Amino acid sequence: MKLLVVSGLSKHFGGLCAVRDLGFEVAAGSIHAIIGPNGAGKTSLFNLLTGFLPADSGSVRLAGTELLGRRPHAIARLGLARSFQLARPFVGLTALESLMLPLGLPGRCAGVAQQRARAGEWLDTLGLSHKADAPSESLNQGELRLLDIGRALAAAPRLLLLDEPFSGLGAQAVRRVAQCLRDRREAGHTTLIIEHRLRELMPLIDRALVLNFGARLAEGTPQAIAANLQVIEAYLGRQGTLA
Ligand SMILES: Nc1ncnc2c1ncn2[C@@H]1O[C@H](COP(=O)(O)OP(=O)(O)OP(=O)(O)O)[C@@H](O)[C@H]1O
């Protein structure tokens, strides 16, 4: 079953075409990557999917429901959560309290004690237990990124969008996040992930969509993508290898 179906999606910024007549599908229960060189349009695509940017044209359907034209909070209510390329603190809240927010939404935890317990479990899973009572604004960028990912994970979305979740993280933290995504897949949940760290990304994903200049360059299994000469060429100068 296809959870997400995107077709004819376009976005211009003045004369610049950031996303060009893009179409792709994401299977339910999969981990699907969006990769491509800097400026390829990956974050713009996430902003279109989540209602942070209005599209010029196209369609984005989540389990058959059209998302284009809806506000970000309405899209979140339909079961979509995202993390951000630049993670920001919830000023005035501790790390634990930051993770209690999504757990306090209707239909989630029964009461504050349960929210607190579940938020503590997420902190533990992400290796942040020692920061539970620290003000979120005192966390460093790597810790903030983990907290932002934890907030999106704790929302238990049907579709999770992660924007460069491994950026700035050490090997152990990357392994923890990757395991969370494998656990989501095991439970039948779906993840769309933008990431430049291909060495860590490729073993994790089911499929990847490669963007270049806002358009689809290739789409397929990690093995097919790694062997695609056009894709390798688009990356040369940046990394030169896809494995
Ligand atoms: N709000 C905006 N106004 C004008 N141009 C923008 C805006 N947002 C993005 N762009 C431009 O659109 C293009 C795509 O940018 P985008 O951030 O989506 O790329 P990206 O693939 O996410 O890049 P990176 O890997 O560096 O994060 C770039 O040329 C960028 O400069």
In the chain, domain spans:
2-85+158-170+190-235
ipTM of the complex: 0.96
Share of the chain above pLDDT 70, in %: 96
- At 132 the pLDDT is 97
Pocket residues: Cβ below 6 A from ligand 1: 13, 16, 18, 36, 38-44
- CA dihedral defined by 16, 35, 102, 115, rounded to 10 degrees? -160
pLDDT digits (tens, 9 = 90+) for 67-82: 999 999 999 999 999 9
Checking if the pLDDT of 237 tops 50, the result is: yes
Q: How much distance in Å is there from the Cα of 86 to the middle of ligand 1?
A: 14
User: Quick count: other Cβ atoms within 10 Å of Cβ 73?
Assistant: 8
Architecture in CATH for domain 2-85+158-170+190-235:
3-Layer(aba) Sandwich (3.40)
- Ligand 1: which atom is nearest the Cα of residue 211? 21
Determine the distance separating the centroid of ligand 1 and the alpha carbon of 16, expressed in angstroms: 10
Angle 29-109-189 from CA coordinates, rounded to 5°: 5
Residue 229 pLDDT exceeds 80: no
Report the candidate in 17, 55, 24, 6 with the shortest Cα–Cα distance to residue 39. 17
Q: Whose CA is nearest to atom 9 of ligand 1?
A: 44
pLDDT of residue 42: 97
- Whether the pLDDT of residue 120 is over 50: the answer is yes
Question: Can you tell me the mean pLDDT for 121-125?
Answer: 97
Q: pLDDT tens-digit profile of 131-142?
A: 999 999 999 999
User: Which pLDDT tens digit goes with each residue over 151-188?
Assistant: 999 999 999 999 999 999 999 999 999 999 999 999 99
Separation of alpha carbons 164 and 4, rounded Å: 20
What is the per-residue pLDDT across 30-58, written as a single tens digit (0 to 9) for each?
A: 999 999 999 999 999 999 999 999 999 99
Average pLDDT of every residue of the chain: 93
pLDDT recorded at residue 110? 73
CA 108 / ligand 1 centre spacing (Å): 35
Sheet holding 16-27, edge to edge: 16-27, 2-13, 57-62, 65-66
Residue 236 confidence (pLDDT): 60
Question: What pLDDT shows up at residue 24?
Answer: 98
- The stretch 193-207 carries a mean pLDDT of 95
Report the SS3 class of residue 75.
Answer: helix
CA 59, CA 12: separation in Å to the nearest integer?
16
**Which of 23-32, 81-90, 97-106, 162-171 has the weakest average pLDDT?**
97-106
**pLDDT for position 240:** 47
